[in-house]
Structure 1
Amino acid sequence: MTLASTALTGLDGAVEHLFEYPYGCLEQTTSRVRPLLAGDALLDAFDLEAFEKKNRDQIVRDWMGSLSTFWTGDGFSLWEDGDHTNPYVTAYTLMALAEAEAAGYDVPQPLTQNAIDAAADMVRNRSDRPDYYSEDVWRDTRAFMLFALARHDRALESEINWLASRPPTSVEGQSHLLRTLLSTEQPKRPEVETRLVEQLRQQIRVEATTAYLEAPESDDYGWIFSSDVRSTAFGLTALLEATPSGDVRQLAQRMIRYLMDRRQQGHWASTQENAAVVTAFQHYVDAYEQAAPDFSASVELAGKTILEKTFQDRSLRTAATTIEADAFPTGRELPLTVSRGGTGRLYYSARLTTYTSAPQDALDQGLRVERTLQRLDDDGKAVGAPVSTGNKTVTLESGRLVKVTLRLTSPTSRTYVAVDDALPAGLEPVNEAFATSAQGVLDEADTGSGRWWGSFTHTETQDDRVVLFADQLRAGEHTYSYVARATTEGTFEHPPAEAEMMYRPETRGHTATGTLVVAPSGGPAAER
C-alpha cells in the first residue's frame, strides 16, 4: 500500500519493472537508467536501494561505459557486439545521452559526437530508409531523431521544415515533431505548433472517465515499439509541454487515469511503455502539482490501521507498507478504507502480489514453444529419440550429456521475440568451448547464426538458462539446440521454456512444467 500527495505514486511498480526486467538489449538498459537521470526530486518518490546516490551514479556510468560495445560505426545496435544499426534505438540512446548530460554527467566522447553526426546523416538521407521500415515508420523515426538532435542543440533546420510540411501521420511521430519545434532555438513556427496540437487533441478518444491516444494497427510499427500506452504517454508529454492550460488539464487527468488503468501487476507491459509513462507523469507533476498539500491520511484493512502519514509542503516522497497475507483472517472479505483530512489531493496505490508453485500447463497465445531432450553418448552421438519435457518425468544419469532443442512456432511474422529456457537445478549448459564431437550434433539446428533477418540473432548462455532473441521472426517453425550436462543428483522441477514479444508481451507461449531426475551414474535406476 502506498500513499502520496503526487500522481507519481503510481509509478513505483514501473520503476521496479525497469530494474528487474531480465534482458539486456540497449533499449532496455537505456530505459532502465532514464529515471535515474530525472533528478533527486523524482527519485525521492521511490524507496529503492538502487536509487542511493552512489549506486545511482555507478549505474549511469556503467551504462555509458557499455555504449561502445553497441556502436556499429554508423549508429547503435540493439545487441552488444551487433553489426546491424537500429535507427530508432540510435535516436533513443542519443536522447538519453542528452538527459545524462543535462543531469550533470560527463557523457563519453568522441562516442556521443559520433552518434550525433550519425543521426544527422540518417535524417538528411531521407530516401535511405531500412527495407523493413515502411515510409510512415521511417518518417516517425526521423522525427524522433530530430528531437534527439535538438536535445543536443543540433537543429537541422531544413529537415525540420521538410517534416513540418509533411508531418507524420501517427500520434507518436506528431508528438516527436511538436517537441522538436518547442525545444529548438531556431525561429518559431507557431502555426505548425498550433496545427500539431490540434491534430493531437482531435485524435484523443474519450471514454467515460478516461482518455487515450491510439497507435497505428499496422505491424510495421512493431519495429519502433509502438503501443496505445506509449502513444498516450508521448501525446500527453507533448501537449503538456505545448499548452498546459486548464482544458488540457482535464484531458490530462483522464489520460493519467487511462494509463493507470492499463497497468498489470503494478507496471506497464514493456520497458518502452514504462519509461514513456514515467516521463509523462513527471511532466504532469511539473505542470499541475504546484500547490503545497496539508493533510493527513490513513489506511485501514479489515478495521485495522496499517498506514498513517501527514503530508505538508510539496514533495514527491511517499509512505508505503507491505502486509503479509497471514496477518489477516482467510475466507472472508477484507474491507480497505482510505481516508484523508485537510487540503490537497491524496493519491494511493494498492497492489496484491500472489505466488504459486503449482505446475503450469502449456500455453499458446500466438507463440508455441516445444522443448525436447536427447541423450548423447561419450562421443557426442545422439542416443535414442528426443523426449519432450512437459508434463512428464525425465531421468538422466549424473554426468550425462544431452542435446536440448527448442522449437518456436509462430503463425505470422513477429518483431523482438525473446525465448527464455530456464534449466532445472540438476542441469547445466555446457560452455561454448566444450571441445568434443558433441558440438557436431548442433550443426543441423537452425540457430539463426550469421543471419540478422528472420530467426534467432542473439543468444545468451547463463549458468541457469539459455536465452534467445529474434529482432524479426518469420512465420513458421524455428529451432535452436545446445548441449547441457546432468550434474547434481536429485529430483528437480523443470521450469517451462517461455517465449514472448518483448514489447507486446500479451503475445506469448510456454511449455508445460516438467520434472527432471538426475540418478547416480551407474546406479540401478534406468534412464527414461
Structure 2
Amino acid sequence: MEAHAWYLKLLSAVKPADPDTRGLVKYLVNNRKNGHYWESTRDTAYAIEAIAGYMKASGEDAPEMEVEVAMDGKTLGKVAVNRDNLFSFDGTFTLTGKDVSPGRHEIGIQRTGGGAVYANAYLEVFSLEDRLREAGLEVKVSRKISRIKETGKQSDTVGRTGQPVSQQEERLQRTPLEDGATLASGERIEVELILESKNDYEYLVFSDAKAAGFDAVDALSGYVGNSALGAYMEPRDRTVDFFIRSLPRGTHSLRYQLRAETPGTYKALPATAEAMYAPELRGNSADFRLKVRE
C-alpha cells in the first residue's frame, strides 16, 4: 500500500484529472483492511495523505454544488455540498416497502455547480421465488456437489527391514450431481465451495447450509488440511462454516464431505460469503435440491 500511495502522490502532482489517477484512488479505498483502515498505521497514514493530496490537486476538497436525487423523475431530496460540510453532510436517501413498486426503476443524480459526485446504491430484498439464484459482486461463492466412491487400490512395497508389505491406497471417484439428484441412504457426497475475490480481503466467513437429512462426515472443528487458505472449519447443526483470516485475490476452493442419512426430498439453502467486519461485502450461491432413498 505504501508504494501505491507514493505513486498516487506522483500522479496527483503530474496529472490529477487522468482516469488512471482516479482508478488508483479507488484501488486504495477498496483495499482497506476491514473496510476502515489499511494493513498498518504506517500504510494508513501514507494512504490518507495521498488521497488528501489527490483531493486538493483535483479540486475535490472545495466543492460548491447542489445534488438532487430522483427516482423515475420524482425528486427524493436535495443536498447542498461545500467546503464546510464536505465530511458532515447527510447524503443518504432511503426507500422502503411500498416506496419501491414492482418493475423497472431509474435512479437519477443531478448536480448543479462544481464538484465531484460519488454515489453508491444498496438493495435488500426478500424473494418469494422457489429457486434462489447466485449473487455477489466483490466476493462470489458457488457450489458444486459430487457423489464420491472409494476405489481402494492395493500395492506391494518394501518395509523398513526389507520384508514385502502390502498397503491399501485410498482413492476417491467423484461423480458430479445435477440439481434434484437422488442418493441412497449411507452414500457420501463432497461439497466444493468455489470462492472468487476481486481484491485481497481479510476476516471472512463462508457458511454452507446443509440439506436436512445429511450429516457431516468430519464432525470435529479444525483447520482444513487440503486448503492453502488456512481455513478453519466448524461443523454445526444447520451449517458448515469456514473462517478465513486472509483471502487473496483470485479463485480458491474449499471441500468437505456429507453423508446421506434420512430418506426424503431436501433443499440446501445457498452458501453465503460475508466479511465479518464489513457486512455489506457479501455474496451467495444458488440453492440445491437432493433426494435420499432407502
Give the TM-score of the pair, scaled to structure 1: 0.31
Q: Retained in 1: the 8 A contact 2:146–2:177?
A: no
**Which amino acid in the other structure matches residue 473 of structure 1?**
L
Partner in structure 1 of residue 137 of structure 2: 365
Task: Write the distance in 2 (CA, Å) between the matches of 1:382 and 1:204.
Answer: 68
Q: 2:67 aligns with which of 207, 224, 231?
A: 207
Gap regions ≥5 residues in structure 1: 1-87, 93-129, 141-166, 172-200, 214-231, 237-250, 267-300, 302-330, 332-351, 450-455, 521-528
Partner in structure 2 of residue 483 of structure 1: 257
Summarize the alignment of residues 392-411 of structure 1 with structure 2, pairs less than 5 Å apart. Answer: 392-411=179-198
Q: What is the CA distance between 1:422 and its match in structure 2?
A: 1.0
DSSP 3-state at the match of 1:463: coil
2:176 equivalent to 1:387: yes
**Which amino acid in the other structure matches residue 387 of structure 1?**
P
Task: Write the distance in 2 (CA, Å) between the matches of 1:425 and 1:411.
Answer: 33
DSSP 3-state at the match of 1:135: helix
DSSP 3-state at the match of 1:137: helix
2:242 equivalent to 1:468: yes
Q: Retained in 2: the 8 A contact 1:447–1:479?
A: no
Partner in structure 1 of residue 40 of structure 2: 133
Task: Write the distance in 2 (CA, Å) between the matches of 1:509 and 1:477.
Answer: 14
Alpha-carbon spacing, 1:170–1:462, altered in 2? closer, same or farther (3 Å) = farther
DSSP 3-state at the match of 1:132: coil
Alpha-carbon spacing, 1:202–1:360, altered in 2? closer, same or farther (3 Å) = same
DSSP 3-state at the match of 2:241: strand
Q: Retained in 1: the 8 A contact 2:150–2:172?
A: no
Summarize the alignment of residues 222-261 of structure 1 with structure 2, pairs less than 5 Å apart. Answer: 236=88, 255=90, 258-259=91-92, 261=93
2:286 equivalent to 1:497: no
DSSP 3-state at the match of 2:131: coil
Q: What is the CA distance between 1:515 and its match in structure 2?
A: 0.8
Partner in structure 1 of residue 211 of structure 2: 424
Q: What is the CA distance between 1:356 and its match in structure 2?
A: 1.3
Q: Deviations over 1:438-479 (max 9, x none)?
A: x9xx74x22523xxxxxx4x4432111122233431122212
Task: Write the distance in 1 (CA, Å) between the matches of 2:258 and 2:64.
Answer: 52
Alpha-carbon spacing, 1:357–1:202, altered in 2? closer, same or farther (3 Å) = same
Task: Write the distance in 2 (CA, Å) between the matches of 1:518 and 1:384.
Answer: 20
Q: Deviations over 1:342-376 (max 9, x none)?
A: xxxxxxxxxx9744142023335233423223334
Q: Retained in 2: the 8 A contact 1:370–1:388?
A: no
**Which amino acid in the other structure matches residue 365 of structure 1?**
L
Identity over aligned pairs, percent = 24
Task: Write the distance in 2 (CA, Å) between the matches of 1:136 and 1:204.
Answer: 31
Q: What is the CA distance between 1:395 and its match in structure 2?
A: 1.9
Task: Write the distance in 2 (CA, Å) between the matches of 1:371 and 1:487.
Answer: 21
Q: What is the CA distance between 1:408 and its match in structure 2?
A: 0.8
DSSP 3-state at the match of 1:448: coil
Task: Write the distance in 2 (CA, Å) between the matches of 1:401 and 1:204.
Answer: 64
CA RMSD, Structure 1 to Structure 2 (Å): 4.5
Task: Write the distance in 2 (CA, Å) between the matches of 1:461 and 1:481.
Answer: 13
2:162 equivalent to 1:375: no
Partner in structure 1 of residue 289 of structure 2: 515
**Which amino acid in the other structure matches residue 472 of structure 1?**
S
Relative contact order (alpha carbons < 8 A, sep ≥ 6): 1 or 2 greater?
A: 2
Would you tell me which structure has more strand in proportion to its own residues?
2
Q: Retained in 1: the 8 A contact 2:139–2:196?
A: yes
Summarize the alignment of residues 61-210 of structure 1 with structure 2, pairs less than 5 Å apart. Answer: 132-133=39-40, 135=42, 137-138=44-45, 207-208=67-68, 209-210=78-79
Task: Write the distance in 1 (CA, Å) between the matches of 2:214 and 2:140.
Answer: 23
Partner in structure 2 of residue 103 of structure 1: none
DSSP 3-state at the match of 2:44: helix
Q: What is the CA distance between 1:496 and its match in structure 2?
A: 1.9
Task: Write the distance in 2 (CA, Å) between the matches of 1:477 and 1:463.
Answer: 28
DSSP 3-state at the match of 2:186: coil
Q: Retained in 2: the 8 A contact 1:406–1:479?
A: yes
2:227 equivalent to 1:446: yes
Q: Retained in 2: the 8 A contact 1:426–1:516?
A: no
Task: Write the distance in 2 (CA, Å) between the matches of 1:469 and 1:511.
Answer: 17
Would you tell me which structure has more helix in proportion to its own residues?
1
Q: What is the CA distance between 1:480 and its match in structure 2?
A: 1.4
DSSP 3-state at the match of 1:485: strand
Q: Deviations over 1:189-227 (max 9, x none)?
A: xxxxxxxxxxxx9689752423689xxxxxxxxxxxxxx
Give the TM-score of the pair, scaled to structure 2: 0.51
Gap regions ≥5 residues in structure 2: 1-32, 53-60, 69-77, 103-123, 153-169
Q: Deviations over 1:325-344 (max 9, x none)?
A: xxxxxx9xxxxxxxxxxxxx
